Structure 1
Amino acid sequence: MKFVDEAPITVRAGNGGNGCCSFRREKFIAKGGPDGGDGGDGGSVYLEADENLNTLIDYRYQRGYSAESGKKGGSRNCTGPKGADLVLKVPVGTSAIDLESGETVADLTAHGEKMLVAQGGFHGLGNTRFKSSVNRAPRQTTEGSEGEVKELKLELKLLADAGMLGLPNAGKSTFIRAVTAAQPKVADYPFTTLVPSLGVVKVQKHRSFTVADIPGLIEGAAHGAGLGVRFLKHLTRCRVLLHLVDIKPVDGSSALESAQSIISEIEEFSPTLAQRERWLVINKSDLLPEHELQQAVDVLLEGLAWSGPVYVVSALAKQGTEQLCADLLAYLESCWLREREDPEAAEREHDTQLAMQAEARARIEALRNKRKQTSDDAEDDDDDDDDDVEIVYAR
Structure 2
Amino acid sequence: MLHFDVNYYDGEESRLFERTTFAKEIHDLVASGFDVEPLDLLAESMFMEQKNQPNWISREELVERAFDRFDEFLDYYEIKGRTLVARFSPQEMENHRIERVGVGATLYAMGRVLGTTPADWEKISIENKKNLDFQIASTGSDFLVLECKASIVEDVMKKTSSISSHKRHIKEKKQEQKPKRPSDILIGAIAAIPRNDSSSARIWLVDPPLPRPFTSASQFKVLARYRFYERLIRLIGRPFLLIALNTRIYALENIENIEVLSGLTLVDINGEPFGIPTSFLANRSGTVEGSIAGIVRRGTDRLMFIGMDTSVIYVIAQQSHDSITRWKSGMEGRRQVQIVINPRDLREARYEIGRSNWQSVNFDITVNSSGLVLGTANV
Q: Structure 1 or 2: larger strand share?
A: 2
- Please give the TM-score of this superposition, normalised by the length of structure 2: 0.27
Q: Structure 1 or 2: larger helix share?
A: 2
- Please give the TM-score of this superposition, normalised by the length of structure 1: 0.26
Larger radius of gyration: 1
